[in-house]
Amino acid sequence: MRRFFSAGRAPGRRWRNERRLVAALFLGPAALTVLVLVAYPMAHTLWLSLHDTNTGAFVGLANYGRMFGTEETRRAILNNIVWVVVAPTVVTVLGLMLAVLTQRVRWSTALKTILFMPMAISFLAVGVTFRLVYDEDPQRGALNAALVAVHDAFSPPSRYYGVAPRDGTGLVPAEGGYQTADPVPPTEPVAMPVVGLPRDRIPSEAVPASPPEAGIELRGVVWLDFTRGGGGEAGEIDATEVGLPGMRVEAVRDGRVVATATTDASGRFVFPGLTEGDYIVRLAATNFTEPFRGVTWLGPRLVTPAVIGAYIWIWAGFAMILIQAGLAGLPRDVLEAARADGATDWQILRRVTVPLVWPILVVVLVTLSINVLKIFDLLYVLPPDSSQDEANVVALEMYRVSFGGGLDYGLGSALAVLLFLLVLPAMLFTIRRRRRERL
């Protein structure tokens, strides 16, 4: 009887051992990979964070104290907070809007493909591309070119920006323009020679300059005191020199503008009625208003919003696709019942659609939050060196401390541990949520 039961247990034990062996053969390579590439680096990073880089001596939490004592780390943590608050929220909201809109347009598949296409581009390539998009020069930067075009449509620049008076002719800077250094009487015509106007910006209606006609009113002439090919006399009207039409001229007395005039095609102007007293003659500041040249997007003040904008461009399509999948599974009878009850599109979106796809929105938010906490490549490529300190985040600071010249592996490892602790809550939340869904 014992032999029977022993013989019955032996095949069962052998079968379980074979299953364990097969499981070990399949799981062994994966477990070894996790051990070598995940567990060991994490343990070694923790060990480095507790030791001095140069001597290898145990320093406890000294590296962590140095980490929080530096201005760079505090700024990096603050920027990470800005990223976590702004980027996932904007991407999720934008993804929801795009997901809803693409359901109502023709060629929705093509549109979704275009919106999702940035996800196929390397972050490094995106950084280089947006470096050009954000270029401060409107001739190269697409964004500033568009802003300048819109601005100039409503507020065009002055025709004479960059123009300055000829040296030694008695004109001095004042109130953003140029004026005579001393008061002049009406009996003395005012000569106001200027230079610095390129040939392609000379007004088409300009004609050769000529001295003002004789008269008793205050008068003068404004002309481009430059002769092509050289020659001519400075401060004198030469035969080939043209007047500057449309120039606004002011007569100032006792610090107050008492009259204004505009030059004609030959650059002449006159102030009717000003026949007595002495006046300061001024070329108004509005003649020299510089054109709008755009915004310094990658400067210290706007570099973080600019990089977040590039991130949103990449990930909006990702959020749209996930939310679109959630919208496709909504019960149509609920939406039709809401429309039958007279609900508007906005009410359906806010009170029906959003609550039903809220689990998907949470997944997108958490996924993007984990992603932005580890953001590195965009911030390494996109901001110029002059603004990288202002755009710094924990992952970038970890790289700069460890490999950017300091080679301080102890401090860099402490920053790596900090980054792991920042990401850990979102990871635990995701794991718990998935377990609840399985149950």
pLDDT of residue 246: 92
Q: Is the pLDDT of residue 439 over 70?
A: no
Estimate the crossing angle of helix 123-133 against helix 142-154, to 10 degrees.
30
pLDDT higher for 405 or 128?
Answer: 128
Other beta carbons within 10 angstroms of residue 308's beta carbon come to 21
So what's the pLDDT on residue 350?
Answer: 85
User: In this predicted structure, what is the pLDDT of residue 5?
Assistant: 46
pLDDT band at 437 (very low <50, low <70, confident <90, very high): low
Q: What is the pLDDT of residue 107?
A: 82
What's the pLDDT at 429? 83
User: Tokens standing for 308?
Assistant: 């977040």
What's the length of the chain? 439
**Please, which residues bridge with residue 208 across strands?**
242
Q: Are 391 and 307 in contact (CB under 8 A)?
A: yes
Q: Per the structure block, which two tokens stand in for 411?
A: 């401090």
Distance between CA atoms of residues 403 and 405, nearest Å: 6
What pLDDT, on a 0 to 100 scale, did the predictor assign at position 91? 95
Arithmetic mean of pLDDT over the chain: 87
**Other CB atoms within 10 A of residue 217 CB:** 15
- Judge whether 224 and 236 are in contact, CB under 8 Å: no
Q: pLDDT band at 169, cuts 50/70/90?
A: confident
Q: Which residue type is seen at 323?
A: I
Candidates 390, 402, 396, 401; CA nearest to 373 is: 396
Compute the distance between CA of residue 14 and CA of residue 306 in angstroms, rounded to an integer.
64
227-276: per-residue pLDDT in tens? 877 777 888 888 889 999 999 999 999 889 999 999 999 999 999 988 88
Q: Which tens digits make up the pLDDT trace of 363-406?
A: 899 999 999 998 998 999 999 988 888 999 999 999 988 887 76
**What letter would DSSP give residue 299?**
S
Instruction: Name residues whose C-beta falls within 8 Å of residue 351's C-beta, 6 or more positions apart in sequence.
Output: 338, 343
| Per-residue confidence band for 311, with pLDDT thresholds at 50, 70 and 90 | very high
| pLDDT reported for residue 192 | 93
pLDDT above 70 coverage of the chain, percent:
96
Strands (E) in 155-208, as ranges, are: 164-165, 171-174, 177-180, 190-195
Reported as a single tens digit per residue, the pLDDT across 285-295 is 999 888 888 89
Q: Are 222 and 244 contacting, i.e. CB atoms less than 8 angstroms apart?
A: yes
Which among 297, 319, 296, 294 has a CA at the least distance from the CA of 308?
297
Of 108-112, 169-173, 181-185, 186-190, minimum mean pLDDT range: 108-112
Kindly indicate the confidence band of residue 146, based on its pLDDT and cuts at 50, 70 and 90: very high
Confidence check: pLDDT of 298 > 80: yes
* Residue pair 189/161 in contact by the 8 Å Cβ criterion: no
The yes-or-no verdict on residue 216 having pLDDT over 90 is no
Higher pLDDT, 232 or 45: 45
Query: How do strand 190-195 and strand 218-224 relate by DSSP bridges?
Result: parallel
Per-residue model confidence (pLDDT) at position 55: 82
pLDDT confidence of 206, banded at 50, 70, 90?
A: very high
Tell me what pLDDT residue 1 has. Answer: 47
* Per-residue pLDDT reduced to its tens digit, 240-254: 899 999 999 999 998
Question: CA-CA distance, 49 to 431, in Å (whole number)?
Answer: 27
Evaluate whether 260 touches 283 at the Cβ level (below 8 Å). Answer: no
